[in-house]
Structures are given as structure tokens and as C-alpha cells.
Structure 1
Amino acid sequence: MKGFPVFRISGTAYERGRQFGQLAREQIVTNLRAYERAFREGAAISWEEATAYAAQFIPWIEQYDAEIMEEIKGISEGAGLDLQDIVALNARSEIITNLGGSASKADGCTCIAAVPPATKRQETLIGQNWDWINLIADGLVVVEIEQPPRPTILMITEAGIVGKIGMNAKGLAVCLNFLRSSEKSVGVPIHIILRGILNSSTLPQAIRQITRLPRGTAANYLLAHREGEAVGVETAQVNYDVLYPLEGHITHTNHFVSPRIQVDDSVRMGASDTYLRMGRATKLLTAERGSIDEEYIKDIFRDHFSYPDAICRHGEAEESEETALLDCTLFSIVMNLTTGTFELSKGQPCQSTYERYHFSEKHEIAKPIL
């Protein structure tokens, strides 16, 4: 199976965005068409409603980080697409949550981090299965962002979105679990916060990037640093809590865990597999504490307990269902922050091999290590 497209961008914020827009235009258009359909069929939201709502997030993005907004403007220019469309991509989680209601789809994931002394070679490991609708599979890309004096970033993202799941050259990494509550508000979008995290050099800086302004919707951000620590930052729109792995490993799925966040957890109304996925991953990690390595984490991500709604999610359809809108694992990622590399599977990890990616050297394009 062919791997993900890989792009490298550099320069000023606007130049980086323009390069991304030019290089990934095909995938950006794919994502715009996919979300137009997903909003319409999965959440009864027209694209006109989505872009109009997304405009409310522009001041929040500018307040959070004007440089990120400049990059979004550059993407629009480089791809030759309307700015409102690119903003809607970057606020797509908030559009789905706040306009679509509790019945609309929301991406689910299983995240894992393991640090010394729980790991076999005293390495810092973090990763996840990213579960979302099949429509988005062709819009995923790997991008390396050189942005001095901020850290160079290597991440996998939906083309046109400025921040997602990945790591930076300072040894910091982030994974994401979507959470859902009944709160509706406008604040900093999830994917802008993810970029803020990846712009950070230390765990305290990354936590501050999550908590310093109100957020557009709920999420859990799983963070790790190559110095050997990991935390989960569980957030509602205003409230948050930080979860620390005393046993050297931590997992998270798509429900609130912290007893200190008093919120109406909408996932409790339907997505019961989130509890089994989290419990299963925790059980498997606990059984191997002290010997956890990348291969063992990959085995967890291939786990089929409670198939098809397992950690390795297959989302099999009934005859009446549209497979393009079904949730399944679109990629699996395992990051080794000690070695500064990550491995990606395209699609379910039980059916595809992991390819290793690393930061480019001497300005060569980042690419898989074959």
C-alpha cells in the first residue's frame, strides 16, 4: 500500500502556508468536498452554514497566535481557495459539535503513552489509532514545518489543517482524543491548539498553550516529552484537568475521566465502546509494564477485542449504511521521542505495515525510512 504524501514547508508564516496550499491543493480540495458531504449528510449542516459559523473563530485564532492565522491565509492563497473554506477546515470539530448536535459524528481514537521505567529500553513512546470517516482517508498528508525560532514540526494532518498529531524537534509530541459535552461556545479551535502545542519546547509550555484561552470544544490532549514524562490534559470549553501517569503509562479514549471536571459528557449517551477501548489498552499496558516497546504498542493498536468497534476499528456497515461515512481507523502512529522518529500505518494497522518517518537532514525532504 502506498504511503502518505510528504511535504516540506519553510519561510515566514504566510510563505509556509502558501507552500502548503500549493503542494497539497489536491488533498485540500478532497477534504473540502468530504466535509461538505459529511456536514450535510452526517449533521444536517450546509457548507454555507459551516463557513459562516467558522468566521466567528477568526478573532480567536488571531488572539491565540497571529502567526498561525497568517499561515491559514497563506494556505488559502496558495491553493487558490476562499479563506472561509480553509478556516472551516481548521474549525471543523467545532462546527460538527456546536452546530450538529449530539447525534452528529465525532472522531474517536485510542491514545497511549509510556515512559521510563515502564518502557523496555527506557524510551519515551506515544501514539494512537485515529478513527474517523472513510471520506477523509485520501486527504491525509505528512508535513514537515521549518519555522525558526520555533521548533521544526513533523506531523500527520488533514491537508489544509495547520496542526494535528505529531512531534517537534525539541522532543515534544501530542496525540488527541475528541470529547463531547453539551456546552456550546466559541473559543480557540482544537486544531489551532494542536499547532500551539507543537510550537512549544517543554511540557509546561504545551499545557499553557491548551489552557490559556477558552476553547471551542472539548478534547483530551495527550502530551509527552523525550525527557521521560507524559501527561493528559482533559478539557471542556473552560474547565480542564491534568492527568499524570504514576505507573509510567497512560491511555485515553473518548470520554471524560477526571472527577474534577463537572460536565455533561454527551458520549455517555451512545459511544459505549470508548470505555472498553480504554480499559483494554490499560490492561494490556499494565501486563507488560517494564517491557513496553514500539512493537508491543503496535500490537495493542491491532487489538480486535469487541470487533468491529475495537481499538483497531473496522466500522463494518449494515446493508443500508453508507461506508464512506463510517468510522474506522484511518491511520495508526507510534512516536519514539528518544530516537526522534515516528511510524505510521495507512489504514488499520492489522492490514498495513508501519513506515518510519524522521526529520529531514540538511534540508532534504522528510520521507519514510524503508
Structure 2
Amino acid sequence: MTSQTGPNLQIPRVHLEGSSYEIGFKHGHVLKEQILSQLEIYREIFQQNCKFDWPHVRSISEEFKTSIGLLAPELLEEIGGIADGVADPNVDIIDIVALNARSEIALGQWDDGCTSLAWHIGDKQILAQNWDWRVSVGKNLAIAFIHQAGKPDITMVIEPGIVGKIGFNSSSVGVCLNAIRARPTSTSLLPIHLLLRIALECPSVDAAIAKIESLGGAASSQHILIADLHGGRALELSPLGGVYIPEDQYGIIVHTNHS
């Protein structure tokens, strides 16, 4: 593991490869302190903002664990590897599932103000976003480089303990995320952060959309802005179905949660 440093900034950079379990185990082992910090932060967030105690959070996570095992068993293996890598008697796979389903567990209880932009101009594709979230989480962020046999290599910003987030892959597929404050949610579908990871395992935007469709969509209402070398698409996802918005005549798609 190496770190990128700057004024008040130290971002770990972790290289993960091997089987799903091996990727998870190294993730958990190398980022143990950050994961333990994340669990404390989200315990506090869930309690203060949502009035959910940790036993209640774990009960919801149990339902998500079952769905992940059915729909994305390799990612459940990775999540299990993370828990084992942390090697703390007070942390198990259900706690790590809770981190991965943090958006769904507290959906409708908090705001997220991100803005994303995709712009296809000439032979270039721009994809970018800001990330308005809790300052307390910022100190734990890491950059993960993931190599899996038969899949594109992934470069991804992660909240330690969570298997997917914003980033890009070696097939030039990139993803951004904007939370949407809406209901319903469904514990029978995959949390949005797992769908981000699945999208980054695909060779194109079209393949990513097809894969998300085959899995039944998202467990909560969220927006993924995705692009490859051929252009971008806004994925408005929900448990009730998805809408896929193409770029406009200028090659631009923008999504904002700011008024």
C-alpha cells in the first residue's frame, strides 16, 4: 500500500487481485483501521439521523446479505473476505454488508448533494462529479486498483469496507453516483454501491445497462452517470424500474441535486 499526500491529505492506494475472497481479505487487512472508523461513523449517523440502533441496522443487513448471495455471490465472497481481513472479534460479515447498503438502510433520512457531468466532445469523453457527503468520512477514503481474471482492471475511489464506488476501468467505462431521496426500497435487490462495482466490471455502457437489467435493477432510487468512449448515459434507477437518458445534441448529460 502506498499513500498520496498533500496539505492535510493522506489517501491510501491499495492494489487488490486474486479471487473474490482474496481481494476482500487484503482490502480488510490493509484498511482495517479505516473500516473500523467507518463503522463507528455510520453507527453514529444511523443513530442520530435515522434513529436506527445497530441491532436494527444489522437486521436489515441480514436481508441484504441473502439477496447479495443470490444475485452477486462473488461480491458476497469479497465482503466476507473484508470481514475476515479486519480480524476484529466485534466485526462480522453483517457489519460489512451494512456499510455496503448504507444508502438503502437510511434512504429518505438524509440528503446528498452531488452533481455529475458527462460530455462527449469530438473523440474525447469527460466524466466528473463532486461528492457532497459527511466530512467525517473523508479522512478514511482510499483508492483501490483491482485486477480480476477475465474482467477489466478497475481504478476506484472507495469508502473502506465498501466494494464499489466511483471510478473507471481499463475498457474506458467510468461511473459517477448521485443519491436520490425517494422511496421505495427493496432488500430483494442489490444496493447501489454493488451495482457501481458491477458496472465497472463491464466492457461498455451497453453491457453495464444489460447487466443491471438482468439483476432486476437497484434496491433504492439512485442515479448513476456512466460513460465509455462512445458517449454517456444517465441511469435513473429504482426498484420499480430504470430509465436511461442519452446525452443531448451537444453530447452533454448533467445531473444535480442542488437547487
Shared fold per TM-score greater than 0.5: yes
Q: Which amino acid aligns with 1:136?
A: V
**For residues 328-351 of structure 1, what are the alpha-carbon distances to aligned partners after superposition, in whole Å with 9 as ceiling and x for unaligned?**
xxxxxxxxxxxxxxxxxxxxxxxx
**For residues 198-241 of structure 1, what are the alpha-carbon distances to aligned partners after superposition, in whole Å with 9 as ceiling and x for unaligned?**
1101111111233221421111110010x231111101212211
Contact 2:34–2:140 (Cα < 8 Å) also in 1: yes
- 1:104-119 paired onto structure 2 within 5 Å: 104-117=109-122
- 1:137-156 paired onto structure 2 within 5 Å: 137-156=138-157
The count of aligned residue pairs is 246
Q: Which amino acid aligns with 2:14?
A: F
Structural RMSD (CA): 1.3
Question: 3-state DSSP class of the match of 2:143?
Answer: strand
**For residues 78-110 of structure 1, what are the alpha-carbon distances to aligned partners after superposition, in whole Å with 9 as ceiling and x for unaligned?**
01131111000001111011xxxx4x2132210
Match for 1:192 among 175, 178, 194?
194
Q: Which amino acid aligns with 2:199?
A: I
Instruction: Tell me, in whole angstroms, the C-alpha distance in 1 between the residues paired with 2:36 and 2:111.
Output: 21
Residue 158 of structure 1, CA deviation: 0.4
Give the match for residue 30 of structure 1.
37
What 5-or-longer segments of structure 2 have no aligned partner? 1-6
Question: 3-state DSSP class of the match of 2:77?
Answer: helix
> Aligned in 2, Cα 1:140/1:17: closer, same or farther, shift over 3 Å?
same
TM-score of the pair, normalised by structure 1: 0.65
Instruction: Tell me, in whole angstroms, the C-alpha distance in 1 between the residues paired with 2:172 and 2:185.
Output: 34
Give the match for residue 249 of structure 1.
252
Answering whether residue 169 of structure 2 is matched by residue 131 of structure 1, we say: no
Instruction: Tell me, in whole angstroms, the C-alpha distance in 2 between the residues paired with 1:108 and 1:30.
Output: 23
What 5-or-longer segments of structure 1 have no aligned partner? 255-273, 277-370
Instruction: Tell me, in whole angstroms, the C-alpha distance in 2 between the residues paired with 1:175 and 1:95.
Output: 20
Provide the identity percentage. 33
- 1:268-283 paired onto structure 2 within 5 Å: 274=258, 276=259
Instruction: Tell me, in whole angstroms, the C-alpha distance in 2 between the residues paired with 1:182 and 1:224.
Output: 26
Contact 2:217–2:242 (Cα < 8 Å) also in 1: no
Instruction: Tell me, in whole angstroms, the C-alpha distance in 2 between the residues paired with 1:92 and 1:124.
Output: 30
Instruction: Tell me, in whole angstroms, the C-alpha distance in 2 between the residues paired with 1:58 and 1:108.
Output: 28
Contact 2:110–2:181 (Cα < 8 Å) also in 1: no
Instruction: Tell me, in whole angstroms, the C-alpha distance in 2 between the residues paired with 1:223 and 1:142.
Output: 19
Match for 2:75 among 39, 64, 68?
68
Larger Rg: 1
Question: 3-state DSSP class of the match of 2:124?
Answer: coil
Answering whether residue 169 of structure 2 is matched by residue 168 of structure 1, we say: yes
TM-score of the pair, normalised by structure 2: 0.91
Question: 3-state DSSP class of the match of 1:131?
Answer: coil
Contact 2:143–2:155 (Cα < 8 Å) also in 1: yes
Residue 3 of structure 1, CA deviation: 3.8
Give the match for residue 202 of structure 1.
204
**For residues 133-178 of structure 1, what are the alpha-carbon distances to aligned partners after superposition, in whole Å with 9 as ceiling and x for unaligned?**
1121122111001111111110001001000000011110000111
Instruction: Tell me, in whole angstroms, the C-alpha distance in 2 between the residues paired with 1:3 and 1:123.
Output: 31
Instruction: Tell me, in whole angstroms, the C-alpha distance in 2 between the residues paired with 1:185 and 1:16.
Output: 28
Contact 2:183–2:221 (Cα < 8 Å) also in 1: no
Give the match for residue 96 of structure 1.
106
Question: 3-state DSSP class of the match of 1:222?
Answer: strand
Instruction: Tell me, in whole angstroms, the C-alpha distance in 1 between the residues paired with 2:183 and 2:240.
Output: 13
Instruction: Tell me, in whole angstroms, the C-alpha distance in 2 between the residues paired with 1:69 and 1:83.
Output: 9
Instruction: Tell me, in whole angstroms, the C-alpha distance in 2 between the residues paired with 1:106 and 1:150.
Output: 34
Question: 3-state DSSP class of the match of 1:108?
Answer: coil
Contact 1:232–1:243 (Cα < 8 Å) also in 2: yes
**For residues 57-92 of structure 1, what are the alpha-carbon distances to aligned partners after superposition, in whole Å with 9 as ceiling and x for unaligned?**
112212222111111010000011311110000011
